[in-house]
Structure 1
């Protein structure tokens, strides 16, 4: 009975550690709700029941309300996109065949289970580690690939805006400027704008084509680009100046991200070291002095200590992730 309980506890601990570290490394919320809140602050108290209303609504107020409405609609779309495996695969450039992803996940889980069984460990440990690896590891890899591709797209996005600005100022239509981006830039920028140009050429409206682009690259930069084009199409204005300002804002955001990354580098390194110390020390002691660690797996009090340690370790991982996960 004691050995069975110990193996079950080890399997649970393995799952918690793998899943917790995967969640901490993969990243989660992208902070889009903060953007909506900032836009709501611009609107002010006009929409509140007790707020004072002016008799005439200015053009600036209409513009703010239009931006707020667009942000709310696209925030719902982005939440749906970021939670979908199919959308993550498109962001990573792997197509949208979810069936292949689940097949690969099952293969990874079975391989880990077989490796544990070949090492003559308990089947319960193999099941726990196999489930953690099959369910968590492929998702972490997919999230890593998607984040890397989205980051590459975001870094090249200001240059694409500059191409559009120069094209408009030289007399080119917006569609021709988009075609230049699709032809002259590198992936993934070229592929995304090529789909945008092809969709517009087949009769899809600009708003619908940008919405599709936003689903495949759900970034604030694409959102701002879509809002600028939508507002300019409805209210008019100098598109070259608006896109030039957008390029400046995106570069300023990138500079701020790099500055925060440099300032928080020590905290990130400390979080990884602190998070890896308990399991690392436990593994080293188990290899050098197995009799010293044996009571943890054979005594009921040791089981309670392991369970408490796993709970506090999970809480610490989530807390450290919140501390080092900066969003702009």
Structure 2
């Protein structure tokens, strides 16, 4: 049955929703499987081998690390010398963390293993927490712990708590104990040779912890075993994506879509002959869903008075699509954009309004670009059209017959626009008024002057063909001057494009290859102010250069 033709569309839409979930399923589940945010404990060496200035630098780097991770992540701190002490219990308050780390001084021996063991015990006592992790900083081997290296590594592996270790000023020292601690549960060792590199090292650890996923050859597939643990936000994203893709499939491949144009024409011809009733019934059965969505949207647009204006904008842009279908496409694009933003990590309260806003902006810009290109093509064709009209007038044809000859040439968009004008004259509209409407639709000042010349010729008489030929000559000379000016200003325009694109491209490159280098731009107040200032000055410079290279002809 043809009614089953919708089944592949439904399956395709649902599969597309899950496929969109694929690249992000691993990290999303890892973060939400327990329903609680992660917990991190910073383990800092304050033994006498660490100078007071090194401890201050390490404390500042640890605070930058805490500020760079999400605010709902609880962060605690352990300071160790001869003894290990939990100075800050895991908390979301960065102020409490700062106060707990303040005033640490160097002294005593190094009880590294005891400190790591204390961190594991503290994390084990926390109930209802998400991923648990230790970030350890030490500048030397253990010298006073009661716990052994093997026991500590076993404790890490048993608890499943990863430890990222910053090996500070180790140089040629033996880092095997640190590697054993880090490797017990999937952590890593980050060597740092001077205090100035501490912030970068902590930033790397924060970035890796935020972006970590399981990966693998089939990592793009969703984790079916944990689907029952997905949160309502993820199911909402899947549902929105499913609905959006289903509507897109119905609009594109269903009746009324671009591939159904030929079939509609054949159906119109077939109406004059005998047509079996079952086929009509199958057609109605297959199109009920798509027709219902389009009809409902048409009713809303018509009620609010938007249908006529939107239809005119789409017609000027040369888009052969109904206003209701275009609106449905915008809605689908907005749903997909919101789903992608949420999957990329944006909060729901930001992704839901921002996605439709971006989709609406892109679709509006698309219509405007199409309109601009169509009007530009009309302006370029106008001199040839007027010359053809003048030749027809010299041959004895009337103005209406001359314009009909332009329509028969079928050079778009001029043929379509003048065909509209001729159609209006057949229902009683004056030819000058119809051409004036074409000039308004195409934003053509040249055509407005031509219409004015036709009106004057109608009132006082004269040779309209000669007037049109003179107008064509003027228009072509002006077009030649415009092209010459554009060629002379090409170097300035190219310089403007490069100067505007340079900071954007370089910023994107640095965000990709060195995110920790760019992180202060959006995590600190001076950085945000610099970023906003840079955007404003770049926009101001772009407007200034546009005015410099734009020459009106």
How far residue 244 of structure 1 moved from its aligned partner, in angstroms, is: 0.6
CA distance in 2 between counterparts of 1:271 and 1:5 reads 38
Corresponding residue to 2:493 among 268, 271, 281: 268
Q: Which of 1 and 2 has greater Rg? A: 2
TM-score (norm 1): 0.68
Does structure 1 residue 209 correspond to structure 2 residue 434? yes
In the alignment, which residue of structure 1 is the partner of 2:516? 291
Contact 1:108 1:133 in 2 (8 A): no
Map Cα deviations across residues 155-208 of structure 1 (whole Å, 9 max, x no partner).
221111111111111211111111111112411111112122222232211222
Q: Which structure 2 segments of 5+ residues have no match?
A: 1-65, 72-308
Map Cα deviations across residues 218-238 of structure 1 (whole Å, 9 max, x no partner).
212221221111121122221
In the alignment, which residue of structure 2 is the partner of 1:182? 407
Alignment of 1:78-117 (within 5 A): 87-94=312-319, 98-117=323-342
CA distance in 2 between counterparts of 1:97 and 1:325 reads 37
CA distance in 2 between counterparts of 1:97 and 1:255 reads 39
In the alignment, which residue of structure 2 is the partner of 1:162? 387
Alignment of 1:132-147 (within 5 A): 133-147=358-372
How far residue 89 of structure 1 moved from its aligned partner, in angstroms, is: 2.5
SS of 1:156's equivalent in the other structure is: helix
Alignment of 1:228-307 (within 5 A): 228-307=453-532
Corresponding residue to 1:312 among 509, 530, 537: 537
Contact 2:375 2:442 in 1 (8 A): yes
Structure 1 residues 254 and 281: CA distance shift in structure 2, 3 A? same
In the alignment, which residue of structure 2 is the partner of 1:323? 548
Corresponding residue to 2:447 among 222, 239, 256: 222
CA distance in 2 between counterparts of 1:144 and 1:184 reads 26
Does structure 1 residue 148 correspond to structure 2 residue 373? yes
How far residue 118 of structure 1 moved from its aligned partner, in angstroms, is: 1.6
CA distance in 2 between counterparts of 1:2 and 1:306 reads 18
TM-score (norm 2): 0.42
In the alignment, which residue of structure 1 is the partner of 2:258? none
Q: Which has the higher contact order (CA 8 A, sep 6+)?
A: 1
Map Cα deviations across residues 52-78 of structure 1 (whole Å, 9 max, x no partner).
xxxxxxxxxxxxxxxxxxxxxxxxxxx
Contact 1:295 1:302 in 2 (8 A): yes
Worse-matched range after superposition: 204-213 or 100-109: 100-109
Q: Which structure 1 segments of 5+ residues have no match?
A: 7-83
Contact 2:409 2:415 in 1 (8 A): yes
How far residue 306 of structure 1 moved from its aligned partner, in angstroms, is: 1.5
